[in-house]
Structure 1
Amino acid sequence: MKKKKLTKEERKRYDSLLKQMKRYEKRGVEITLSGEELPLEDIAAACAVKEHGCYMGDYIWDDKGVLSEIRYDKIGGDAESRK
C-alpha cells in the first residue's frame, strides 16, 4: 500500500483505529480489508485516509455470540468514479 503523509485528523483516526484493531486481534478476531488479510497498519490507514472511498466494518459473530471477525469493505469510491 502506498504510504502518504497523514493530516492531523487522519493521524488521529489512524491511531484510534489501529489501537482498537490490535485489541480485537489479541482476542482472536480476524480482521480483513475487502476480503484480504493485510497488516493492521495497512487496514487502519485505508480506513483513516478515505482517499479512495470509505470503508465500513461488518462485525461477524459466531453461534455463541462471540465476535469472530471484522470485515472492512468499501462503501464509496473516489471522486473520479462518481462523475
Structure 2
Amino acid sequence: MNSTEEKYRQFFIELEAYEKCGIPMSMDGEPASPLQIVNAHMAKESNAYMRDYVMDDETGSLKELHFQKIAAK
C-alpha cells in the first residue's frame, strides 16, 4: 500500500469512528457517509475541502462535522 492509499485509509477510519459515536457528517450542506467524504477527497481536482467542527455549547463536545468545498485560486 502506498502512502497516499494509507492516508485515505486512515482518514476513513477516523470518520468511521465519528460515525460510530453518532456524530453527523455533511459535505457541502448535505448528509454524507465516511465513504462519500473520502471518495470526494480522493477525486478532488482543483477543489479542496475544509473541515468545520461544530461543538456543543453546553458540553464542549463535538456535535457535528461538516466538510465545505473550497475553490483553489
TM-score of Structure 1 vs Structure 2, range by shorter chain: 0.7 to 0.9
Runs of 4+ more than 6 Å apart:
none
Percent of counterpart pairs with the same letter? 31
CA RMSD of aligned residues (A): 1.8
| Structure 1 residue 48, shift from structure 2 partner | 3.5
Q: Which structure 1 residue ranges, 5 or more long, are not aligned?
A: 1-7
TM-score (norm 2): 0.80
Q: Which structure 2 residue ranges, 5 or more long, are not aligned?
A: none
Distance across 2 between alignment mates of 1:15 and 1:75: 23
Q: Corresponding residue for 1:57?
A: 51
Matched, 1:14 2:8: yes
Report which of the two has the higher share of strand: 2
Amino acid at match of 2:5: R
| SS state at 1:73 partner | strand
TM-score (norm 1): 0.72
* Aligned positions, number: 71
